[in-house]
Amino acid sequence: MKLKSLALNNFRGYSKETKIDFENLTTIIGKNDIGKSTLLEALEIFFNNQTVVIEPVDKNIHSSNGSVEISCEFADLPDQISIDSSSTTTLKEEYLLSSDETLVIKKVFDCSKKTPTVDIYIVADHPTNSEVSNLLELKEKELQSIIKSKSLDSKLKGNPEMRKAIWSSISDLEIKKVEIPISKPKEDAKRIWEQIEMYLPIFALFQSDRNSSDTDNEVQDPMKSAIATALAEVQEDIDRIQKKVKEKAEEIANNTHKALETIDKNLANKLEPKFTPPTQAKWNGLFSIKMDTDDGIPLNKRGSGVRRMILVSFFKAEAERRLKTSSKKSIIYGLEEPETAQHPNNQKILIESFKSLANETGCQIILTTHSPGLASELPIESLRFVTKSAQGEVEIEKGKDIFPKVSEALGVTPDSRVKVLICLEGPTDVDAIKCLSKALKIKYPELPDLSTDDRIAYVLMGGSTLKHWVNNNYLRGLGRPEFHLYDNDVGTYQNSIDEVNQREDNSCGYLTSKLEIESYLHSQAIKYAFGIDIETPDTVNADGKAVPKIFAEAYSLKVGFDSPIRDSKAKQFLAERAFPAMTAEMIEERDTIFEVKGWFEKINELLQ
């Protein structure tokens, strides 16, 4: 299941219902004490209520209402759920989905109590006709009675089938948005909730205010797990040790008793040893592991930035261990201000790892930040801006309109070193031309290396990062030339290229002569990166498939996937691993007309 949105009501600074949407990678931006961390902590309370526990003080201080509402909306739902060993059903058939066919779960915490209690509801478009509004709460015999009273098929077996038949017999179910209680033990409603819980994602929260030492939970939990695993593997040896200790202890006790008898038989008629072996927990507690890093330097003695980088890694490892050892199929990483104490280079490393992780199946990343460096590297679709209205209400905005507000709040400013804007379709195109330019520069030193040249800024026409939009808006007024390169797979792109070439500011545009940028890949680069032999046609092969589709099918077959990965995923893999394997010789073997070299010669001309 995938988290689609979170809604808060009467929780801390969120006095009225406020909703935030999530992508695979979502970045929450705002000033200090605006409510960014509150969103992550609300998710921790919803999923776990452990690292952060709901308290009476969590209700909005200006409200007399003691109820706090935390609602999560989910997509990518299970195809079916099991009520018992013989009955399966779907959330849709049980009228448990929203109008958007998503699953909305609301948890209502009573914060008027010293220890808040919780009631759980599914908010769904459900039958409200008084005849059939409570079918999920009825027992089998009660459903059978309705079946009989309506002269329906008496051979129907299983509660789901009976409910389906009863609902179908009503001409107007009066479907309305309602809250269906599911936390109290009421027949199938309770069993359905138990099934849903199995599919909910794991939520793992990494908070910013931590000591960053090797006694931190993120370090110690995996190490304790490693100790427990190791002890389990040597249990036979432990049993032998315990047996030997018991024998020796009994021998000593018996010898002591005999010696005591020689002194005075009346002192102890009986001295019988009772051996209690240590519990597994005590065995685990006998051992601990401290972490040394390079040159034997203890982790505690390293700089705070290094410690936090290591802790983020431990946090990820522990979260993945939890995922592997549970029945869960997906995971959400929530990270507060991961840039804390990090050098800008490390921030870039973190961002790239987060982007890559967010593309993994069943994985979502939610970050909070007020770092200009971190925010400027993030995709625009990931940004959520938390602010307050004139009335003091917390608001969450997204979309291109937030850029001026974000840049003002965080201090994101244009890079005056930029001399040329390169306009491409997407992020994999950026990776591709960087690799191609780097490879050609080895043979042609006069060409620019776009992977390191800070005179270049990229504008992604199908999406971008905050930094690139800020640069674009600023540099447009300074008359910086633009170099546009689009794939040849969309007919209307030629019109855009013609418009660019008609400008009088030295801007220029090209369509690839091959179908798309992946069509320039050499088969040997793909084989080197993935161990896969495929053709790389200039357009499409005899089956009408271009390089990404051909690769997707071959790669999925190699790793044993049931169905091919998406084209977008294939392009990402090729950008990350195949393009870096390209050499100048491979490029020129695939591009005998030196088209690619011509792109970089033109960019070099614009840079001058």
The answer to whether residue 501 scores a pLDDT higher than 50 is: yes
- The partner residues of 387 in beta bridges, in order of sequence, read 395
Please choose, from the candidates 91, 83, 82, 87, the residue with its C-alpha nearest in 3D space to the C-alpha of residue 157: 87
Instruction: State the virtual CA torsion across 474, 478, 481, 485 in degrees, nearest 10.
Output: 10
Task: Report the 10 Å Cβ neighbour count for 477.
Answer: 8
What pLDDT, on the 0 to 100 scale, is given for residue 353?
73
What the block records as the tokens of 153 is 């098929």
Kindly tell me if the per-residue pLDDT of 39 is higher than 90: yes
176 vs 423, residue with greater confidence: 176
Q: pLDDT-based confidence at 444, cuts 50/70/90?
A: very high
pLDDT at 269 over 80: no
- Give the Cα separation of 147 and 163 in Å (integer): 9
- Residue 344 has a pLDDT of 62
Span 334-377, pLDDT tens digits: 888 877 656 666 667 777 777 777 777 788 989 888 766 667 77
Chain segment 550-604, per-residue pLDDT in tens: 999 999 999 888 889 989 899 999 999 999 999 999 999 999 999 999 999 999 9
Model confidence band, residue 70 (pLDDT cutoffs 50, 70, 90): very high
219 closest CA partner among 292, 145, 126: 292
pLDDT reading at 261 higher than 60: yes
Q: How far is CA 550 from CA 120, 540, 607, in A?
A: 47, 9, 37
Note the pLDDT of residue 520. 97
Q: How confident is the model at residue 12 (pLDDT cuts 50, 70, 90)?
A: very high
| Per-domain residue ranges of the chain | 2-22+35-206, 236-285, 420-607
Q: Give the mean model confidence (pLDDT) for residues 546-551.
A: 96
Residue type (1 letter), 290: K
Interhelix angle 235-263/217-233, rounded to 10 degrees, is 80
Considering Cα of 3, then 192, then 89, then 101, what sign does the dihedral take? negative
CA 211 to chain centre: 25
Q: Which residues pair with 118 in a beta bridge?
A: 109
Give burial (CB, 10 Å; 0-12/13-18/19+) of 451. middle
- pLDDT of residue 178 exceeding 60, the answer is yes
Whether the per-residue pLDDT at 544 is higher than 60: the answer is yes
Region of poorest pLDDT, from 132-146, 218-232, 268-282: 218-232
3-state secondary structure of 128: coil
Question: Average pLDDT, stretch 436-453?
Answer: 94
Residue 476 has pLDDT above 70, yes or no: no
Averaged pLDDT score across all residues of the chain: 82
Contact by Cβ (8 Å): 384, 18: no
Q: What is the pLDDT of residue 220?
A: 45
> What is the distance, to the nearest Å, from the Cα of residue 335 to the centroid of all Cα atoms in its chain?
10
Of 68-72, 202-206, 338-342, the one with minimum mean pLDDT is 338-342
Amino acid identity of residue 579, one-letter, is F
Is the pLDDT score of 297 beyond 60?
Answer: no
Q: What is the pLDDT, as a whole number, of residue 239?
A: 78
Q: How far from chain centre, in Å, is Cα 19?
A: 19
pLDDT in tens, 391-443: 888 999 887 677 777 777 776 666 667 788 888 888 899 999 999 999 999 99
Category of 242 on φ-ψ map: left (φ > 0), alpha (ψ -120 to 50) or beta: alpha
Task: State the pLDDT at residue 268.
Answer: 58
Put simply, whether the predicted model's pTM sits higher than 0.85 gets the answer: no
Q: How far apart are CA 307 and CA 311, in angstroms?
A: 6
